[in-house]
Structures are given as structure tokens and as C-alpha cells.
Chain A
Amino acid sequence: MLIRLRTLTVTTALCATSLLAAPHAFAEVEPGGWQSVSPTYTVQERGCGQVDGLTFRLTCSTASGVQRAERRYATYTGGTRQFEGHFRITSLSGTRISLKQTFNDSAPGPYFMLAVERGGRLYAVHGGSTLSNAGTVGATVRVNTVHQVGVEHRTYINGSLKHTYASPGGSFYDKFGAYRTNSGSGQATVEWSNIRFWRK
């Protein structure tokens, strides 16, 4: 009964807010002073990696060497950054392919790496925790990362918070595409869409 009352209170308060406020849509998540930005990027193709617009392919099953097809965005220092993108894996005969990285340019090294195993498990490479099983072939998955430099890095999969990670200060940059992790192998094709960035 108490739970129901609490639920009702929360719902009523927020519904009232929604009804009184003019219709609006937040383009970004965690609203509050976000400014849309368009960081520059370079395309990185290494080994059997191929980039065609927002389609990223690893065309070989090699389990060694650097196999990379990614966009590398401009370095940022300080503040809070948000990335949003949708990916769809259209083929994956390999496994343990990195899809999105937040790279620590000060350390340097990948600070956060979201990867997929064959079968659809999305996981954090550092620590290995499972974020979701939504990364199956053919499924479109939305990713938001919110990075408060020097505080915390949060990852949302399909709108739900799935991973938090303490962040050091320093310089970072975003990467996404397809990249063979140390324990991974190709082949893989990943299509990204609706890429957006914000800062505050």
C-alpha cells in the first residue's frame, strides 16, 4: 500500500509538471545547459578495417594485429561531454569487437570500451561487466555516454543506465566503429546512425 501511494505521488507530481509545461523535446539526455557541438573527426582504417560513411567493416577473421575501422573525434579537456548514436550490427561472424570507445589521451589508452560478443552481449572491455544483451545482429541499439571529466563516465543502452565508471581528469576523445579487441576476431559489419554530440 505504501509503495502504491509513493508511486501515485511521484506520478502525479510529474504528470502535473508535464501538463503545465509547454510541449518540448530534449535532444540530449540529462538536460541542463547542453550545447550541441560538431567535433571534427578523422577516419582510421588499419589492417582489414574499411570505412564507408557510417558503415564500418572488419573484413578478415585475423585474431592478431591491429584491425580497425573507426572515426576518431577531436580531443576534449574538461567539462561534460555527451555522445549519442545508434548502431546496428549487420553481420558478425567474429566476436569481441569494440563498437564505441572513450579514449584517455593523457594516460594514454582506451579508458572506456563498449564491445560486443558474438551472440549479442554488450560488455565493458575493462572489467568485463555485461551492459546488455541487445547487440544481436539486425537490432538497432541506442548508446548515450555522458562524461564528466574528472568525475564520472556513464553509459546508457536504449535509455537505461548500464555502466558508471570513475573518471580521472585529463584529455579524452570519442571513437566509434568496429575495432578488434585484444581477445577478439573479425569479421564484422556495423552501421552507425544519428550521431550527435553535446557539451556543457
Chain B
Amino acid sequence: MRGKARIAASAALILALPACSAGAGDPDRPLRGVLTTPTDIDLHWRDERPGIAGHVLEFATEETGPYTVLRYLAPQVTSYRHPDLLPHTTFSYRLRSYRGPTVRPLRTDLADGLRFTWTDRSSDEDGFLLEIRKKNGNRYDPVAVLAPNTEATEFVPLPDERHATYRVRAFALGEQSNVVRLTTGEQARASRRG
């Protein structure tokens, strides 16, 4: 089933024109982008289908890739800023949704981190996501991506993550969005970091 979905998604892939012509609200083009400054790109998307557990945002600087994952994002997240970009470079972006069940892992506190273990009950996952809900937070966000068939991981939390709640999701990647392509301009010297 997942294979069929992928084939259909590939056939339906639409190469979008840059953001200036990407239609807002077009269901066939859920991903939109805009060059907010010469070297900052803002991406927005809309995906209200039920059962979507999140999205993977990817970028490339060649039309044929390789694409690199920028972030695994919770379903409530619908925008992303890609900042301080390579100047005079064409960036391509695409979005992939993912679905999958979650389990509550067994947690063991270590001296310098946390260890989680769980049982792999899925047969066709593309991987596992360790998701975190911070104390007083209202959603889970992915913090680590793990290979298929994994049943344990160690995680080094930031100070505000040690008292968070964690869960593990077996995820299956879904269809691929349209591709948004934008070309950056000159780099502002003042924005550089050192």
C-alpha cells in the first residue's frame, strides 16, 4: 500500500514555479515559499488531511538532489524559516507527510542522559521518531530520528528536556509535495556570524 502511494505521489509531483506564482490554497501545491530577504526563505504549507502525524521538510541546491532533511515537524507546525542562506543559489524545497502509531517507551535515567526502550510492533516503518512534549507544553515535537527496526536509543536532553514526556513513533513516509524553487541574492555582510 505504501509503495502504491509513493508511485502515485511521484506521478503527481508538480514542479512549482517560484513563490511569486505558487497559488495559495491550491491543494495540489500545499507548499509555498517566499524570499523574505535576499538570504532568508520562509516556507508555509497547509495539510488538513486526517491522520497526518507530521511532515519532513527537505532542501537541495540541485534540481535532482540530493535532498537533505531540514527538520521533522509536528503536524501543528505549518511554517519554517530557512535563514542566512548561501547567496546566489537556487534552493529547492519539498515536503513529505508521515503517519504512524506511537508507543510509550520504557525510560531509564542515566548519569548523562536518558535511555529509552520499546518493542517494534510495526513491519514496514521508514524509521522511528523520538518525540518530546516539554513540561507545560501542548504538543509533541520530534527530537531524534532512528533507523527502522530500532528498539532502543539514548538521548542527551537539554536542561529543560529532562522533565519532559517522551514517546516513540513508528513512521511511514507518505506522498511528496510540490517543489518550491527560489534563488537567493546577495549576502548582507551584517548578517554574518563569527
Contact = CB atoms under 8 A, between A and B. Distances in A.
* Physical interaction between A and B: yes
Interface of A: 7, 10-12, 14-19, 23-27, 29-32, 86, 93, 118-120, 129, 136-142, 144, 154, 156, 158-165, 193-194
A42 to B, nearest CB: 26
A158 B89 CA distance: 13
A18 B181 contact: yes
A18 B193 contact: no
Interface in B68-110: 68-70, 82-91
Contacts of A86: 66, 68
Contact of A19 (B17, B59, B83, B187): B17
A195 B192 CA distance: 25
Contact of B84 (A93, A136, A140, A160): A160
A161 B186 CA distance: 13
Interface of B: 17-21, 34-39, 59, 61-64, 66, 68-70, 82-91, 112-113, 127, 143-147, 153-158, 181-185, 187, 191-194
15 contacts: A11-B20, A14-B183, A15-B182, A23-B63, A25-B62, A25-B64, A26-B90, A136-B143, A137-B153, A138-B147, A141-B68, A156-B86, A158-B70, A160-B83, A162-B193
A30 B156 contact: no
Contacts, number: 129
Nearest to B127: A138
* CB-CB nearest 9 A-B residue pairs: A119-B156, A15-B20, A29-B86, A25-B62, A161-B84, A164-B194, A15-B18, A142-B68, A160-B84
A117 to B, nearest CB: 8
B62 A14 contact: no
Contacts of B156: 118-120
A138 B171 CA distance: 14
B62 A139 contact: no
B111 to A, nearest CB: 12
* Residue of B20, B113, B182 contacting most chain A CB atoms (<10 Å): B20
B59 A159 contact: yes
A157 to B, nearest CB: 10
B112 A164 contact: no
Nearest to B181: A18
A98 B48 CA distance: 42
Contacts of A17: 183
B68 A136 contact: no
Contacts of B154: 93
A32 B157 CA distance: 42
